[in-house]
Amino acid sequence: MPAETGLHARDLVATVRRAAAAGSDVRERATLEVLDAVACMRLGASHPLVTTVAAAGAWGGTGRHRSFAGEGHPLEQAVRLDALACHVDELDSIEPGAAVLSAALVVPAAWHVAELRGSSGTALLDAVVAGYDVVSLAGQALGGPAAYAHGWWPTSTVGALGAAAAVGLLLDLDDDALAAAFGLAAARTGGLLSDDDLGAGHYLAAADAAVAGLRAAHLAGAGLTASATYLGGPASRAFPTWGDPGPREPGDGVRATTTKPYPCARPLQSVAAALETGAHRVDALAAITVELPAPLLRFVTTDVEVPDATRAAASLAHVVAAVREGRAGDARFFRTASLEGLAPLPTLELRPWADASAGTWGCRLLLRAHDGTEVTVRAEPPTVPPGRLRVKALRVLADAGVAPDVVGPVLDDLGRLDSAPTVSGLRLHRRLAAVRGV
- pLDDT value at position 437? 52
Neighbour-count burial of 340, counting CB atoms closer than 10 A to its CB (0-12 exposed, 13-18 middle, 19+ buried): exposed
Query: What is the average per-residue pLDDT within 74-89?
Result: 97
Measured CA to CA, the distance from residue 25 to residue 321 in angstroms comes to: 39
Across all residues in the chain, what is the average pLDDT? 93
Rounded to 5 degrees, what are φ and ψ at 68? -70, -15
Produce one character per residue of 13-30: b if its CB has 16 or more CB atoms within 10 Å, e if not: bebbebbeebeeebbebb
| Residue among 220, 225, 147 at smallest CA distance from 190 | 147
CATH of domain 3-259: 1.10.4100.10
Write out pLDDT tens, residues 48-66: 999 999 999 766 678 899 9
Confidence bin at 3 (pLDDT 50/70/90) = very low
Q: Which overall architecture, per CATH, does domain 266-379 show?
A: 2-Layer Sandwich (3.30)
Q: How confident is the model at residue 116 (pLDDT cuts 50, 70, 90)?
A: very high
Identify the band that residue 193 occupies on the pLDDT scale cut at 50, 70 and 90. Answer: confident
Q: Region 353-365: what's the mean pLDDT?
A: 89
Residue 278 has pLDDT above 90, yes or no: no
Mean pLDDT within 23-41: 97
Say what the alpha-carbon torsion angle 125, 131, 136, 139 is, to the nearest 10 degrees.
Answer: -160
Burial (CB count <10 Å: 0-12, 13-18, 19+), residue 326: exposed
What are the tens digits of pLDDT across the range 221-237?
999 999 999 998 898 88
- Find the angle CA(416)-CA(406)-CA(398) to the nearest 5 degrees: 105
- For residue 431, the tally of other CB atoms under 10 A from its CB is 15
> How confident is the model over 372-398, as a mean pLDDT?
95
Give CA–CA dist 200/311, Å, rounded: 9
Does the global pTM surpass 0.85?
Answer: yes
Nearest to 399 by CA among 34, 32, 35, 45: 45
Domain assignments of the chain as residue spans, ordered by start: 3-259, 266-379
Mean pLDDT over residues 108-119, rounded?
98
Question: 57-66, 239-248, 249-258: lowest mean pLDDT where?
Answer: 57-66
Query: Of residues 58 and 293, which shows the higher confidence score?
Result: 293
Q: What percent of the chain has pLDDT over 70?
A: 97
Task: Output the pLDDT for position 6.
Answer: 66
Q: Sheet harboring 374-379: ordered strands across?
A: 347-352, 285-292, 363-369, 374-379
Report CA Rg, the chain.
21
